[in-house]
Copies of this chain bind each other. A is one copy, B any other.
Amino acid sequence: MIFITRKETFSAAHKLSRTDWSEEKNKEVFGKCANPNWHGHNYDLKVTVKGEVNPDTGFVANLSVIGQILKSKIIDKIDHKNINLDVDFMKGKLPSTEVLAIEIWNQIETEINALGCKLHCVKIQETEKNYVEYFGK
């Protein structure tokens, strides 16, 4: 068993804010992340996959292929977009980094596992100070 990781990046806007809460309540809970006119980040996305080494190729899986899956399933939908408004798989969800990691897992799990390996971790770094890791249910 060996673990391989692919990093991709995207830049997006979001805000943490519930429509069923007042602006004051949102500000109290989410602080400056509740700014009504949005803010944004450069996000690092790291996807880790585990499996056996294929003796023919020396690969668990081809990291370029994993990069292409991430591009078509995630990056093309979220890069230079508004996570609250523009991203289909985040519609109606709170765009915290935690929820984003879970939803990215859900978007890619089937296609990753079809490569003959197993999705192990989705890690999202939102700022230099904050990151989140999800290992599935």
- Which A residues lie at the B interface, using CB under 8 A? 1-9, 11-14, 16, 18, 29-33, 35, 37-42, 48, 53, 56-60, 62-64, 67, 79-82, 85-86, 93-99, 101-102, 127-135
A-B contact pairs, 19 of them (CB 8 A): A2-B132, A2-B133, A3-B133, A3-B135, A5-B133, A6-B130, A9-B128, A12-B39, A16-B57, A16-B58, A29-B62, A35-B80, A37-B86, A38-B40, A39-B81, A41-B42, A42-B128, A53-B99, A60-B132
Task: Return the chain B residue nearest A39 by Cβ.
Answer: B80
Q: Which of A56, A60, A133 has the most CB of B within 10 A?
A: A133
How many angstroms between the C-alpha atoms of A115 and B137 in the bound complex?
22
